Amino acid sequence: MGISAEQTLGGNAGATGGPEGTGRTGIWLIGARGSVATTAAAGLAAISGGLAPATGCVTVQEPFGSVRLPAFADLVVGGHDISDVSMAKRAELLVEAGMLPLHLMESVRTQLDEADARVRPGYDPAAASGSQADAARRMARDIADFKDANGLERVVVIDVASTEAPVEPLPEFTDAALLLEALEDPARAVLPPSSLGAYAAVLAGSPYVCFTPSAALGVPALGELAAGHGVPTAGQDGKTGQTWLRSVIAPAFAARGLRVLSWAGANLLGGGDGATLSDPEAVAGKLQSKNRGLQELTGGAATPLHIDNVQDLGETKVAWDHINVEGFLGSRLSLQTTWTAFDSMLAAPMVLDLARLMALAQAAGETGHIGALGFFFKDPWGSDEHSFAEQTRVLAEWAQSASSRLPADAGSGARR
């Protein structure tokens, strides 16, 4: 890439506020044409191009200044999707919804078109033929091709596809041999798409992140297989809004010795995610994943929760919580919170952070669930910690320690 690339890089090191990174890194987004993915891609282009600061990315601020991470300008986007609506078209819809600024979208249209050209067909359960193993191998090849074509040191796969309905348990789910057999059987389709995507990622040797509440590596036999491939993995279900706030507030009540009796919640959302979650089966998985942490943090308070598809809200998510608390001498206090945000605007910077941190994880030789990334997830893999303050501390320590373990020339390869 020569000298001018080096200069670009230098410029971007500034953008990240950090030292030399870990090399050119691919972000392979499963669900690449969705709202979160498109926002992440548009944002990445804007940040790399110096059009916008990386607000909402934790890796650009202290204490990550000395952590070695790939520069934003070293991140390249590709992915799988089953939709024909291009990223640029999707971005236009996000502009119409009042979420993306028009001028910004126009400034990054070229980069969106480039990214969209790197999108390959995902696994569509409704249209699939052949064995699932073949499908996984094909998708792993897509990832490898992406890596080669773009001169990437590594590719981080991040699932931001539509939430799936929870799966019914099968014998294959707890027996790796059975599962492998079933995967080769063209007449069967035992794994949900999210799990197949995760499998493809590990086959490709890629760090894998599950940003959705879908099954993914939660299928035990698949988790076992994945572990064998020695890639770092992280999940699950991005903790962006209401659940994040809960993980901030609930530990604080506990620290005060105040006892949460009930924590009731309502979620209103439109957009693609709203439409998906209007399916009672799809929503079941999401509700579970949202509530698990709260249950732990409150020691079993009543936590009724609803998600409603309210299409006129567009890309906005509104969440109301009512918290009933027992205080001194049996007295009651209540807290209500109302959260209003563009959901994907919260998710996208976390996707970029995760790409950078998973690149670090792999460069530092980590494998399996990285519990220290629980900061980002509603239902963290590899950790039981749900308190956001504690997760913040743990993340910083992990990143610094992982960074210190990097070989001195990490990341330089791609740039020579």
B/e letters for 122-142, b = 16+ CB within 10 Å, e = fewer, are bbeeeebeebbbebbbebbeb
Distance of alpha carbon 410 from alpha carbon 132, whole angstroms: 36
Applying CB under 6 A, does 276 fall inside the site for ligand NAD? yes
By CB under 8 A, what part of segment 131-150 binds its own copies?
none
User: Which of 92, 214, 106 lies closest to 160 in space, CA to CA?
Assistant: 214
Distance of alpha carbon 178 from alpha carbon 222, whole angstroms: 11
Q: Show the beta-strand stretches assigned E in 285-403.
A: 305-309, 316-326, 332-342, 368-369
By CB under 6 A, what part of segment 76-105 binds ligand NAD?
80-83
Applying CB under 8 A, does 261 fall inside the site for its own copies? yes
Binding mask 143-172 vs ligand NAD (x if CB under 6 A, - otherwise)?
A: -----------------xxxx---------
User: Which of 27, 24, 80, 121 lies closest to 348 in space, CA to CA?
Assistant: 27
Applying CB under 5 A, does 380 fall inside the site for Na ion? yes
Q: Are 375 and 395 in contact (CB under 8 A)?
A: yes
Q: In angstroms, what is the minimal distance from the CB of 22 to its own copies?
A: 20
Beta-ladder partners of 308 = 268
Q: In angstroms, what is the minimal distance from the CB of 99 to its own copies?
A: 7
Q: Which does residue 249 touch among ligand NAD, its own copies, Na ion, none (CB within 5 to 8 A, set by kind)? A: its own copies
Q: Are 136 and 196 in contact (CB under 8 A)?
A: yes
What DSSP state is assigned to residue 230?
T
Applying CB under 8 A, does 310 fall inside the site for its own copies? yes
With CB under 8 A as the contact rule, the residue among 196, 198, 249, 399 that binds its own copies is 249
With CB under 8 A as the contact rule, the residue among 69, 71, 277, 318 that binds its own copies is 318
Number of residues located near its own copies, criterion CB under 8 A: 72
Instruction: Using the rule CB under 5 A, give the single segment among 89-97, 226-234, 316-324, 375-383 that binds Na ion.
Output: 375-383
Distance of alpha carbon 67 from alpha carbon 175, whole angstroms: 40
Q: Which does residue 161 touch among Na ion, ligand NAD, its own copies, none (CB within 5 to 8 A, set by kind)? A: ligand NAD
Number of residues located near ligand NAD, criterion CB under 6 A: 32
With CB under 6 A as the contact rule, the residue among 272, 293, 314, 411 that binds ligand NAD is 272
Instruction: Using the rule CB under 8 A, give the single segment among 39-47, 111-119, 189-197, 289-297 that binds its own copies.
Output: 39-47
Tokens in use for 253?
A: 């009540």
Distance of alpha carbon 318 from alpha carbon 337, whole angstroms: 10
Instruction: Using the rule CB under 5 A, give the single segment among 205-213, 221-229, 275-283, 374-382 that binds Na ion.
Output: 374-382
By CB under 6 A, what part of segment 323-352 binds ligand NAD?
343-344, 346-347
Q: Which does residue 82 touch among ligand NAD, Na ion, its own copies, none (CB within 5 to 8 A, set by kind)? A: ligand NAD
Tokens in use for 127?
A: 């249209």
User: Which of 201, 210, 255 lies closest to 229 in space, CA to CA?
Assistant: 201
By CB under 8 A, what part of segment 151-210 binds its own copies?
none
DSSP string, 60-103: GSTTSTTS----GGGEEEEEEES--S-HHHHHHHHHHTT-S-HH
With CB under 8 A as the contact rule, the residue among 229, 320, 368, 382 that binds its own copies is 320
| Contacting residues toward Na ion, per CB under 5 A | 380
